[in-house]
Amino acid sequence: MIRLLRRVQEDFLLTVQLNSFMAVETFLALTSIIDSSMNIYIKAYTHAAPMFIGMIFGCLAVRRNQLSRLIQGAAWALVATVSLAALLGVRTWFDGRPPERLESAFYAGLHRASWSLGASWVMYTCATGHGGFVNKILA
């Protein structure tokens, strides 16, 4: 868990340090896209948090713990919120408003982890039989 938080923190700090880079490329400036890809996206440590989240949910799926309805509902609400934030958090950036430094840093530090949390939760619930209608759709 400490390593996961450390990787998210490194993504955040790297984006703050490299203020000229955008967390999400809008293909407006080719040199910015190339620089961002070389300095941020290609680096393996920026993808460590999603890998750790996947491993944690894989271990939980093997244990097959029973979850109460309250925990399932709270987890679905949390996962839906963070996944939609990762998906729609950059909507205004594509309308031409450039992101602020802190906003870009938070998004860069958290979007991969939050999206992988959502995907891992869906896979976990479907694999353990707690998926409900989502399991029927994906099966």
Q: What is the pLDDT of residue 45?
A: 78
Q: pLDDT higher for 10 or 49?
A: 49
Q: Running DSSP on this structure, what letter comes out for residue 128? A: T
Q: 88: which residues sit within 8 A by CB, 6+ positions away?
A: none
Q: Taking residues 129-133, report their average pLDDT.
A: 85
For 9, half-sphere exposure in the C-beta direction (CA atoms, 13 angstrom radius) is 6
Q: Has residue 13 got a pLDDT over 80?
A: no
Q: Which residue segment(s) compose the domain that 121 sits in?
A: 2-138
If one counts the domains in the chain, the total is 1
For 74-111, the pLDDT digits (tens) are 999 999 999 999 888 888 877 878 778 888 888 888 88
For the entire predicted model, the pTM comes to: 0.72
For 48-64, the pLDDT digits (tens) are 888 999 999 988 888 87
Q: What is the pLDDT of residue 19?
A: 53
